[in-house]
Structure 1
Protein backbone atom coordinates (compact mmCIF):
# COMPACT_ATOMS: atom_id res chain seq x y z
CA UNK A 1 0.00 0.00 0.00
CA UNK A 2 1.31 3.44 -0.92
CA UNK A 3 0.18 6.10 1.52
CA UNK A 4 -1.01 9.25 -0.25
CA UNK A 5 0.74 12.48 0.69
CA UNK A 6 -0.78 13.97 3.83
CA UNK A 7 -2.38 10.68 4.88
CA UNK A 8 -1.46 8.39 7.79
CA UNK A 9 -2.07 4.89 9.09
CA UNK A 10 -3.35 4.55 12.64
CA UNK A 11 -3.10 1.66 15.10
CA UNK A 12 -4.93 1.17 18.42
CA UNK A 13 -5.44 -1.74 20.80
CA UNK A 14 -6.94 -2.94 24.08
CA UNK A 15 -10.01 -0.82 24.75
CA UNK A 16 -11.79 -3.55 26.75
CA UNK A 17 -15.14 -1.85 26.31
CA UNK A 18 -17.64 -3.18 28.83
CA UNK A 19 -15.07 -3.63 31.62
CA UNK A 20 -15.53 -3.60 34.49
CA UNK A 21 -19.13 -2.59 33.67
CA UNK A 22 -20.83 -1.01 30.68
CA UNK A 23 -21.48 2.16 32.68
CA UNK A 24 -17.90 2.44 33.89
CA UNK A 25 -16.46 2.00 30.40
CA UNK A 26 -18.80 4.54 28.76
CA UNK A 27 -16.44 7.55 29.22
CA UNK A 28 -13.60 5.53 27.70
CA UNK A 29 -15.80 4.59 24.76
CA UNK A 30 -16.74 8.22 24.21
CA UNK A 31 -13.07 9.18 24.25
CA UNK A 32 -12.22 6.46 21.73
CA UNK A 33 -15.05 7.59 19.44
CA UNK A 34 -13.76 11.17 19.68
CA UNK A 35 -10.33 9.88 18.61
CA UNK A 36 -11.84 8.06 15.63
CA UNK A 37 -13.68 11.23 14.70
CA UNK A 38 -10.46 13.24 14.87
CA UNK A 39 -8.28 10.91 12.79
CA UNK A 40 -10.77 10.15 10.03
CA UNK A 41 -9.75 13.34 8.22
CA UNK A 42 -6.26 12.12 7.37
CA UNK A 43 -6.51 8.34 7.86
CA UNK A 44 -5.41 6.18 4.94
CA UNK A 45 -6.30 3.11 7.04
CA UNK A 46 -7.08 2.21 10.64
CA UNK A 47 -5.89 -0.97 12.34
CA UNK A 48 -7.71 -2.11 15.49
CA UNK A 49 -5.41 -4.60 17.16
CA UNK A 50 -7.71 -6.60 19.40
CA UNK A 51 -9.56 -6.57 22.73
CA UNK A 52 -11.78 -3.78 21.52
CA UNK A 53 -14.37 -5.46 23.73
CA UNK A 54 -13.78 -7.09 27.09
CA UNK A 55 -16.02 -9.88 25.85
CA UNK A 56 -17.51 -10.66 22.46
CA UNK A 57 -19.22 -13.82 21.27
CA UNK A 58 -21.30 -14.15 18.13
CA UNK A 59 -24.23 -16.47 18.47
CA UNK A 60 -25.96 -17.43 15.23
CA UNK A 61 -28.45 -14.55 15.48
CA UNK A 62 -27.22 -12.57 18.51
CA UNK A 63 -24.24 -10.34 19.33
CA UNK A 64 -23.56 -8.68 22.72
CA UNK A 65 -25.65 -5.67 23.61
CA UNK A 66 -24.06 -2.22 23.68
CA UNK A 67 -21.10 -0.42 22.08
CA UNK A 68 -23.47 1.47 19.77
CA UNK A 69 -21.29 4.59 19.61
CA UNK A 70 -18.21 2.63 18.58
CA UNK A 71 -19.97 0.43 16.05
CA UNK A 72 -21.80 3.40 14.55
CA UNK A 73 -18.59 5.43 14.18
CA UNK A 74 -16.81 2.47 12.56
CA UNK A 75 -19.70 2.08 10.12
CA UNK A 76 -19.48 5.79 9.28
CA UNK A 77 -15.74 5.50 8.66
CA UNK A 78 -15.91 2.42 6.44
CA UNK A 79 -18.90 3.86 4.55
CA UNK A 80 -16.75 6.91 3.77
CA UNK A 81 -14.20 4.66 2.06
CA UNK A 82 -11.53 4.49 4.77
CA UNK A 83 -10.45 0.85 5.28
CA UNK A 84 -10.50 -0.54 8.81
CA UNK A 85 -8.83 -3.83 9.75
CA UNK A 86 -9.52 -5.81 12.90
CA UNK A 87 -7.27 -8.34 14.65
CA UNK A 88 -9.01 -10.41 17.31
CA UNK A 89 -7.59 -10.36 20.81
CA UNK A 90 -7.87 -12.85 23.61
CA UNK A 91 -11.07 -11.17 24.85
CA UNK A 92 -12.85 -11.00 21.48
CA UNK A 93 -11.69 -14.27 19.93
CA UNK A 94 -15.17 -15.35 18.95
CA UNK A 95 -15.86 -13.19 15.92
CA UNK A 96 -17.64 -14.96 13.12
CA UNK A 97 -18.82 -12.66 10.36
CA UNK A 98 -20.59 -9.74 12.04
CA UNK A 99 -17.85 -7.15 11.47
CA UNK A 100 -17.36 -8.30 7.89
CA UNK A 101 -21.06 -8.33 7.01
CA UNK A 102 -22.31 -5.29 8.92
CA UNK A 103 -19.28 -2.99 8.91
CA UNK A 104 -17.21 -4.14 5.95
CA UNK A 105 -14.23 -4.73 8.26
CA UNK A 106 -11.99 -7.75 7.56
CA UNK A 107 -11.13 -9.76 10.66
CA UNK A 108 -7.84 -11.59 11.22
CA UNK A 109 -7.05 -14.28 13.77
CA UNK A 110 -3.29 -14.43 13.17
CA UNK A 111 -0.53 -11.85 12.59
CA UNK A 112 -0.34 -10.45 9.07
CA UNK A 113 2.44 -8.92 7.00
CA UNK A 114 2.05 -5.57 5.22
CA UNK A 115 4.22 -3.19 3.23
CA UNK A 116 3.52 0.53 3.50
CA UNK A 117 5.72 2.89 1.45
CA UNK A 118 8.46 0.26 1.25
CA UNK A 119 8.43 -0.30 5.03
CA UNK A 120 7.57 -3.83 6.14
CA UNK A 121 5.25 -4.51 9.09
CA UNK A 122 4.24 -7.61 11.04
CA UNK A 123 0.99 -6.85 12.84
CA UNK A 124 -1.11 -8.80 15.34
CA UNK A 125 -2.72 -8.71 18.78
CA UNK A 126 0.12 -10.61 20.42
CA UNK A 127 -1.54 -13.16 22.72
CA UNK A 128 0.00 -16.61 22.81
CA UNK A 129 3.08 -15.66 20.79
CA UNK A 130 6.65 -16.39 21.75
CA UNK A 131 7.94 -18.77 24.43
CA UNK A 132 6.16 -19.46 27.71
CA UNK A 133 2.53 -18.62 28.58
CA UNK A 134 1.72 -22.32 28.28
CA UNK A 135 -1.34 -22.24 30.52
CA UNK A 136 -2.99 -19.57 28.40
CA UNK A 137 -2.03 -21.34 25.17
CA UNK A 138 -3.76 -24.51 26.36
CA UNK A 139 -6.82 -22.53 27.43
CA UNK A 140 -6.96 -20.74 24.07
CA UNK A 141 -7.03 -24.06 22.20
CA UNK A 142 -10.10 -25.05 24.23
CA UNK A 143 -11.85 -21.72 23.71
CA UNK A 144 -11.25 -21.67 19.97
CA UNK A 145 -12.08 -25.32 19.33
CA UNK A 146 -15.24 -26.12 17.40
CA UNK A 147 -16.51 -28.19 20.33
CA UNK A 148 -15.84 -25.43 22.85
CA UNK A 149 -17.68 -22.81 20.79
CA UNK A 150 -20.55 -25.22 20.07
CA UNK A 151 -21.04 -25.98 23.76
CA UNK A 152 -20.93 -22.31 24.75
CA UNK A 153 -23.45 -21.42 22.04
CA UNK A 154 -26.02 -23.65 23.76
CA UNK A 155 -26.01 -21.37 26.79
CA UNK A 156 -28.68 -18.68 26.74
CA UNK A 157 -26.92 -15.37 25.90
CA UNK A 158 -27.99 -13.80 29.22
CA UNK A 159 -26.25 -16.64 31.04
CA UNK A 160 -23.28 -17.11 28.71
CA UNK A 161 -22.37 -13.42 28.55
CA UNK A 162 -22.66 -12.99 32.32
CA UNK A 163 -20.37 -15.97 32.97
CA UNK A 164 -17.85 -14.82 30.37
CA UNK A 165 -17.78 -11.26 31.69
CA UNK A 166 -17.15 -12.50 35.22
CA UNK A 167 -14.32 -14.78 34.12
CA UNK A 168 -12.85 -12.08 31.89
CA UNK A 169 -12.35 -9.79 34.85
CA UNK A 170 -11.47 -12.38 37.51
CA UNK A 171 -9.39 -15.05 35.78
CA UNK A 172 -5.83 -14.11 34.79
CA UNK A 173 -5.36 -17.43 32.99
CA UNK A 174 -8.23 -16.62 30.64
CA UNK A 175 -7.11 -13.04 30.08
CA UNK A 176 -3.57 -14.16 29.36
CA UNK A 177 -2.27 -10.89 30.81
CA UNK A 178 0.18 -10.35 33.64
CA UNK A 179 0.17 -7.13 35.61
CA UNK A 180 1.09 -4.38 33.18
CA UNK A 181 4.70 -3.75 34.03
CA UNK A 182 7.76 -4.07 31.83
CA UNK A 183 9.57 -7.34 32.51
CA UNK A 184 12.82 -6.59 30.67
CA UNK A 185 13.64 -7.58 27.11
CA UNK A 186 14.77 -11.08 28.07
CA UNK A 187 11.45 -11.78 29.80
CA UNK A 188 9.06 -10.11 27.37
CA UNK A 189 7.64 -12.93 25.25
CA UNK A 190 6.70 -10.65 22.37
CA UNK A 191 10.22 -9.23 22.21
CA UNK A 192 11.55 -12.78 22.03
CA UNK A 193 9.00 -13.63 19.34
CA UNK A 194 10.09 -10.65 17.22
CA UNK A 195 13.76 -11.49 17.57
CA UNK A 196 13.13 -15.05 16.46
CA UNK A 197 11.17 -13.80 13.46
CA UNK A 198 14.11 -11.61 12.48
CA UNK A 199 16.31 -14.69 12.26
CA UNK A 200 14.45 -15.75 9.12
CA UNK A 201 12.85 -12.58 7.72
CA UNK A 202 13.29 -8.84 8.13
CA UNK A 203 10.50 -6.53 9.25
CA UNK A 204 10.96 -2.83 9.85
CA UNK A 205 8.20 -2.76 12.46
CA UNK A 206 6.51 -5.32 14.69
CA UNK A 207 3.27 -3.87 16.04
CA UNK A 208 1.31 -5.61 18.78
CA UNK A 209 -1.08 -4.93 21.63
CA UNK A 210 -2.04 -7.28 24.48
CA UNK A 211 0.58 -6.10 27.00
CA UNK A 212 -1.27 -2.86 27.89
CA UNK A 213 2.05 -1.04 27.90
CA UNK A 214 3.23 1.60 25.43
CA UNK A 215 6.65 0.27 24.40
CA UNK A 216 9.18 1.07 21.68
CA UNK A 217 12.13 -1.31 21.62
CA UNK A 218 14.95 -1.32 19.10
CA UNK A 219 15.49 -4.94 18.07
CA UNK A 220 18.42 -3.99 15.85
CA UNK A 221 19.45 -0.88 13.93
CA UNK A 222 16.77 -1.50 11.28
CA UNK A 223 13.89 -3.06 13.19
CA UNK A 224 11.64 -1.94 16.04
CA UNK A 225 9.04 -3.60 18.27
CA UNK A 226 6.11 -1.37 19.23
CA UNK A 227 3.43 -2.19 21.76
CA UNK A 228 0.45 0.11 21.48
CA UNK A 229 -0.50 0.39 25.14
CA UNK A 230 -4.21 0.59 25.94
CA UNK A 231 -7.32 2.77 26.20
CA UNK A 232 -7.79 2.15 29.91
CA UNK A 233 -4.81 3.89 31.48
CA UNK A 234 -2.59 5.25 28.71
CA UNK A 235 -4.87 6.17 25.76
CA UNK A 236 -1.96 5.64 23.38
CA UNK A 237 -1.95 4.79 19.70
CA UNK A 238 0.48 4.34 16.82
CA UNK A 239 0.66 6.52 13.73
CA UNK A 240 2.72 5.92 10.59
CA UNK A 241 3.16 8.93 8.31
CA UNK A 242 4.75 7.03 5.43
CA UNK A 243 8.28 7.32 6.81
CA UNK A 244 8.23 6.92 10.59
CA UNK A 245 6.08 5.24 13.21
CA UNK A 246 5.35 7.08 16.47
CA UNK A 247 3.46 6.32 19.66
CA UNK A 248 1.19 9.18 20.67
CA UNK A 249 -1.27 9.88 23.47
CA UNK A 250 -4.82 11.12 22.95
Structure 2
Protein backbone atom coordinates (compact mmCIF):
# COMPACT_ATOMS: atom_id res chain seq x y z
CA UNK A 1 0.00 0.00 0.00
CA UNK A 2 1.47 3.34 -1.08
CA UNK A 3 0.18 6.61 0.35
CA UNK A 4 1.23 10.14 -0.57
CA UNK A 5 0.18 12.64 2.07
CA UNK A 6 -1.13 15.95 0.80
CA UNK A 7 0.47 19.12 2.17
CA UNK A 8 -0.51 19.62 5.81
CA UNK A 9 -2.07 16.18 6.12
CA UNK A 10 -1.07 13.34 8.45
CA UNK A 11 -1.52 9.62 9.05
CA UNK A 12 -2.68 8.46 12.47
CA UNK A 13 -2.38 5.07 14.18
CA UNK A 14 -4.09 3.58 17.24
CA UNK A 15 -4.84 0.10 18.54
CA UNK A 16 -6.54 -1.97 21.21
CA UNK A 17 -9.58 0.06 22.25
CA UNK A 18 -11.26 -3.14 23.54
CA UNK A 19 -14.68 -1.54 23.58
CA UNK A 20 -17.12 -3.59 25.63
CA UNK A 21 -15.01 -4.23 28.75
CA UNK A 22 -14.79 -4.25 31.70
CA UNK A 23 -18.35 -2.88 32.08
CA UNK A 24 -20.86 -0.93 30.03
CA UNK A 25 -20.14 2.25 31.98
CA UNK A 26 -16.34 2.03 31.70
CA UNK A 27 -16.53 1.12 28.03
CA UNK A 28 -18.85 4.06 27.32
CA UNK A 29 -16.47 6.45 29.09
CA UNK A 30 -13.59 5.12 26.98
CA UNK A 31 -15.69 5.27 23.80
CA UNK A 32 -16.39 8.96 24.40
CA UNK A 33 -12.67 9.58 24.88
CA UNK A 34 -11.89 7.79 21.60
CA UNK A 35 -14.48 9.95 19.84
CA UNK A 36 -12.84 13.08 21.30
CA UNK A 37 -9.51 11.88 19.92
CA UNK A 38 -11.01 11.25 16.49
CA UNK A 39 -12.54 14.74 16.57
CA UNK A 40 -9.14 16.21 17.50
CA UNK A 41 -7.40 14.68 14.47
CA UNK A 42 -10.20 15.17 11.95
CA UNK A 43 -8.87 18.49 10.60
CA UNK A 44 -5.50 17.19 9.38
CA UNK A 45 -6.00 13.41 9.07
CA UNK A 46 -5.75 11.94 5.58
CA UNK A 47 -5.72 8.31 6.70
CA UNK A 48 -6.42 6.64 10.05
CA UNK A 49 -5.04 3.17 10.79
CA UNK A 50 -6.87 1.28 13.54
CA UNK A 51 -4.62 -1.64 14.28
CA UNK A 52 -6.86 -4.33 15.75
CA UNK A 53 -8.88 -5.21 18.86
CA UNK A 54 -11.14 -2.21 18.47
CA UNK A 55 -13.79 -4.34 20.15
CA UNK A 56 -13.25 -6.86 22.91
CA UNK A 57 -15.44 -9.15 20.83
CA UNK A 58 -16.87 -8.73 17.35
CA UNK A 59 -18.56 -11.27 15.12
CA UNK A 60 -20.59 -10.45 12.04
CA UNK A 61 -23.55 -12.71 11.38
CA UNK A 62 -25.25 -12.29 8.00
CA UNK A 63 -27.80 -9.85 9.43
CA UNK A 64 -26.59 -9.24 13.01
CA UNK A 65 -23.61 -7.48 14.58
CA UNK A 66 -22.93 -6.95 18.31
CA UNK A 67 -25.02 -4.07 19.63
CA UNK A 68 -23.48 -0.92 21.05
CA UNK A 69 -20.51 1.27 20.05
CA UNK A 70 -22.83 3.66 18.22
CA UNK A 71 -20.81 6.80 19.03
CA UNK A 72 -17.59 5.20 17.80
CA UNK A 73 -19.06 3.74 14.61
CA UNK A 74 -20.97 6.95 13.91
CA UNK A 75 -17.78 9.03 14.23
CA UNK A 76 -15.91 6.66 11.90
CA UNK A 77 -18.75 7.02 9.38
CA UNK A 78 -18.48 10.81 9.65
CA UNK A 79 -14.73 10.75 9.05
CA UNK A 80 -15.18 8.46 6.07
CA UNK A 81 -17.94 10.64 4.63
CA UNK A 82 -15.56 13.61 4.92
CA UNK A 83 -12.96 11.86 2.76
CA UNK A 84 -10.65 10.40 5.43
CA UNK A 85 -9.48 6.90 4.54
CA UNK A 86 -9.98 4.28 7.25
CA UNK A 87 -7.76 1.20 7.40
CA UNK A 88 -8.89 -1.33 10.00
CA UNK A 89 -6.85 -4.36 11.03
CA UNK A 90 -8.47 -7.34 12.63
CA UNK A 91 -7.09 -8.40 16.02
CA UNK A 92 -7.36 -11.57 18.03
CA UNK A 93 -10.55 -10.28 19.71
CA UNK A 94 -12.30 -9.00 16.58
CA UNK A 95 -10.97 -11.11 13.72
CA UNK A 96 -14.46 -12.08 12.52
CA UNK A 97 -15.06 -9.13 10.20
CA UNK A 98 -16.80 -10.26 7.04
CA UNK A 99 -17.72 -7.13 5.08
CA UNK A 100 -19.95 -4.99 7.32
CA UNK A 101 -17.34 -2.30 8.04
CA UNK A 102 -16.22 -2.19 4.43
CA UNK A 103 -19.82 -1.57 3.34
CA UNK A 104 -20.90 0.81 6.10
CA UNK A 105 -17.67 2.78 6.53
CA UNK A 106 -15.94 2.31 3.16
CA UNK A 107 -13.02 1.03 5.25
CA UNK A 108 -10.17 -1.15 4.06
CA UNK A 109 -10.11 -4.20 6.36
CA UNK A 110 -6.77 -6.00 6.65
CA UNK A 111 -6.32 -9.40 8.28
CA UNK A 112 -2.52 -9.87 8.16
CA UNK A 113 0.56 -7.65 8.54
CA UNK A 114 1.28 -5.59 5.43
CA UNK A 115 4.02 -3.34 4.14
CA UNK A 116 2.97 0.24 3.56
CA UNK A 117 4.90 3.24 2.27
CA UNK A 118 3.91 6.77 3.25
CA UNK A 119 5.91 9.49 1.50
CA UNK A 120 8.82 7.03 1.03
CA UNK A 121 8.74 6.03 4.72
CA UNK A 122 8.42 2.25 4.95
CA UNK A 123 6.33 0.58 7.65
CA UNK A 124 5.50 -3.05 8.40
CA UNK A 125 2.20 -2.86 10.25
CA UNK A 126 -0.17 -5.42 11.77
CA UNK A 127 -2.01 -6.22 14.97
CA UNK A 128 0.76 -8.57 16.11
CA UNK A 129 -1.12 -11.62 17.34
CA UNK A 130 0.52 -14.94 16.55
CA UNK A 131 3.82 -13.38 15.44
CA UNK A 132 7.28 -14.03 16.81
CA UNK A 133 8.74 -17.02 18.64
CA UNK A 134 6.15 -17.31 21.43
CA UNK A 135 2.36 -17.52 21.74
CA UNK A 136 2.28 -21.10 20.40
CA UNK A 137 -1.01 -21.89 22.11
CA UNK A 138 -2.72 -18.93 20.49
CA UNK A 139 -1.22 -19.76 17.10
CA UNK A 140 -3.03 -23.10 17.26
CA UNK A 141 -6.25 -21.41 18.36
CA UNK A 142 -6.01 -18.88 15.55
CA UNK A 143 -5.99 -21.67 12.98
CA UNK A 144 -9.32 -22.80 14.44
CA UNK A 145 -10.75 -19.27 14.67
CA UNK A 146 -9.91 -18.52 11.03
CA UNK A 147 -11.00 -21.91 9.67
CA UNK A 148 -14.04 -21.42 7.37
CA UNK A 149 -15.72 -24.60 8.66
CA UNK A 150 -15.52 -23.56 12.32
CA UNK A 151 -16.69 -20.07 11.40
CA UNK A 152 -19.66 -21.65 9.61
CA UNK A 153 -20.43 -23.67 12.76
CA UNK A 154 -20.33 -20.55 14.94
CA UNK A 155 -22.68 -18.81 12.50
CA UNK A 156 -25.23 -21.54 13.27
CA UNK A 157 -25.38 -20.51 16.94
CA UNK A 158 -28.05 -18.04 17.96
CA UNK A 159 -26.35 -14.63 18.52
CA UNK A 160 -27.48 -14.55 22.17
CA UNK A 161 -25.61 -17.80 22.78
CA UNK A 162 -22.63 -17.22 20.49
CA UNK A 163 -21.89 -13.66 21.59
CA UNK A 164 -22.55 -14.56 25.24
CA UNK A 165 -20.05 -17.42 25.16
CA UNK A 166 -17.45 -15.33 23.36
CA UNK A 167 -17.76 -12.44 25.83
CA UNK A 168 -17.35 -14.83 28.76
CA UNK A 169 -14.24 -16.37 27.21
CA UNK A 170 -12.77 -12.96 26.37
CA UNK A 171 -13.19 -11.67 29.93
CA UNK A 172 -11.70 -14.84 31.40
CA UNK A 173 -8.70 -14.62 29.08
CA UNK A 174 -8.17 -10.96 30.00
CA UNK A 175 -8.26 -11.70 33.75
CA UNK A 176 -5.60 -14.39 33.36
CA UNK A 177 -3.24 -12.31 31.23
CA UNK A 178 -3.55 -8.83 32.76
CA UNK A 179 -0.36 -8.79 34.85
CA UNK A 180 1.87 -10.01 32.02
CA UNK A 181 0.55 -7.23 29.79
CA UNK A 182 2.14 -4.61 32.06
CA UNK A 183 5.59 -6.22 32.28
CA UNK A 184 8.43 -5.38 29.90
CA UNK A 185 10.06 -8.67 28.91
CA UNK A 186 13.38 -7.36 27.62
CA UNK A 187 14.90 -9.56 24.93
CA UNK A 188 11.89 -11.88 25.37
CA UNK A 189 9.57 -9.27 23.82
CA UNK A 190 8.37 -11.45 20.98
CA UNK A 191 7.22 -8.69 18.64
CA UNK A 192 10.55 -6.91 19.08
CA UNK A 193 12.27 -10.20 18.21
CA UNK A 194 9.95 -10.55 15.20
CA UNK A 195 10.87 -7.03 14.05
CA UNK A 196 14.59 -7.79 14.35
CA UNK A 197 14.18 -10.95 12.28
CA UNK A 198 12.21 -9.14 9.57
CA UNK A 199 14.77 -6.30 9.53
CA UNK A 200 17.55 -8.84 8.88
CA UNK A 201 15.63 -9.88 5.75
CA UNK A 202 14.48 -6.48 4.49
CA UNK A 203 14.83 -2.95 5.80
CA UNK A 204 11.84 -0.97 7.02
CA UNK A 205 11.92 2.37 8.78
CA UNK A 206 9.28 1.31 11.30
CA UNK A 207 7.71 -1.88 12.65
CA UNK A 208 4.32 -0.94 14.09
CA UNK A 209 2.08 -3.27 16.07
CA UNK A 210 -0.60 -3.42 18.75
CA UNK A 211 -1.65 -6.51 20.73
CA UNK A 212 1.08 -6.25 23.35
CA UNK A 213 -0.77 -3.50 25.31
CA UNK A 214 2.51 -2.06 26.61
CA UNK A 215 3.56 1.16 24.83
CA UNK A 216 7.07 0.56 23.49
CA UNK A 217 9.46 2.48 21.25
CA UNK A 218 12.62 0.42 20.73
CA UNK A 219 15.53 0.46 18.32
CA UNK A 220 15.77 -2.19 15.60
CA UNK A 221 19.13 -2.29 13.89
CA UNK A 222 20.87 0.99 13.10
CA UNK A 223 18.07 2.94 11.47
CA UNK A 224 14.74 1.37 12.33
CA UNK A 225 12.23 1.34 15.21
CA UNK A 226 9.77 -1.07 16.74
CA UNK A 227 6.76 0.74 18.18
CA UNK A 228 3.93 -0.94 20.03
CA UNK A 229 0.92 1.33 20.09
CA UNK A 230 -0.23 0.29 23.56
CA UNK A 231 -3.92 0.33 24.46
CA UNK A 232 -6.77 2.64 25.47
CA UNK A 233 -7.80 1.04 28.75
CA UNK A 234 -4.94 2.68 30.67
CA UNK A 235 -2.48 4.36 28.29
CA UNK A 236 -4.39 6.20 25.49
CA UNK A 237 -1.35 6.20 23.21
CA UNK A 238 -1.29 6.71 19.45
CA UNK A 239 1.06 7.37 16.55
CA UNK A 240 1.21 10.36 14.22
CA UNK A 241 3.15 10.62 10.95
CA UNK A 242 3.42 14.01 9.24
CA UNK A 243 5.18 12.87 6.07
CA UNK A 244 8.67 13.07 7.58
CA UNK A 245 8.58 12.07 11.24
CA UNK A 246 6.71 9.46 13.25
CA UNK A 247 5.76 10.67 16.73
CA UNK A 248 4.40 8.58 19.58
CA UNK A 249 1.88 10.51 21.69
CA UNK A 250 -0.63 10.23 24.52
CA UNK A 251 -4.14 11.67 24.26
CA UNK A 252 -5.33 13.74 27.25
CA UNK A 253 -2.25 12.68 29.21
Sort the TM-score into its range (normalised by shorter chain). over 0.9
Report how far residue 5 of structure 1 moved.
Answer: 2.2
Report how far residue 180 of structure 1 moved.
Answer: 2.5
Report how far residue 2 of structure 1 moved.
Answer: 1.9
Q: 2:82 matched to which residue of 1?
A: 80
Contact (CA 8 Å) 1:87, 1:107: kept in 2 or not? yes
Q: 2:234 matched to which residue of 1?
A: 233
Q: 1:20 matched to which residue of 2?
A: 22
The runs of at least 4 consecutive aligned structure 1 residues that moved more than 6 Å come to 173-177
SS at match of 1:168: helix
Report how far residue 4 of structure 1 moved.
Answer: 1.9
Matched residue count:
249
Specify which of 99, 105, 108 is matched with residue 107 of structure 2: 105
Q: 2:243 matched to which residue of 1?
A: 242
Change (3 A) 1:233 1:176: closer
- Name the CA distance, whole Å, in 2 between partners of 1:220 and 1:43: 30
Q: 1:213 matched to which residue of 2?
A: 214
Calculate the TM-score normalised by the size of structure 2: 0.95
- Name the CA distance, whole Å, in 1 between partners of 2:162 and 2:108: 26
Runs of at least 5 residues in structure 2 that lack an aligned partner in the other structure: none
Contact (CA 8 Å) 1:214, 1:247: kept in 2 or not? no
Report how far residue 58 of structure 1 moved.
Answer: 0.5
Q: 2:31 matched to which residue of 1?
A: 29
Pairing 1:175-214 to 2, within 5 Å after superposition: 178-184=180-186, 186-214=187-215
SS at match of 1:202: coil
Q: Deviations over 1:40-62 (max 9, x none)?
A: 10001100000000000001111
Q: Deviations over 1:165-207 (max 9, x none)?
A: 01001025998994322100x2011011111111111100011
Q: 1:64 matched to which residue of 2?
A: 66
SS at match of 1:199: helix
Q: 2:224 matched to which residue of 1?
A: 223
Report how far residue 106 of structure 1 moved.
Answer: 1.0
Runs of at least 5 residues in structure 1 that lack an aligned partner in the other structure: none
Change (3 A) 1:148 1:187: same
Calculate the TM-score normalised by the size of structure 1: 0.96
Q: Deviations over 1:57-111 (max 9, x none)?
A: 0011111001000000000001111101000000001000001011100101001
Report how far residue 151 of structure 1 moved.
Answer: 1.3
SS at match of 2:249: strand
Report how far residue 22 of structure 1 moved.
Answer: 2.5
Superposed CA RMSD in Å reads: 1.7
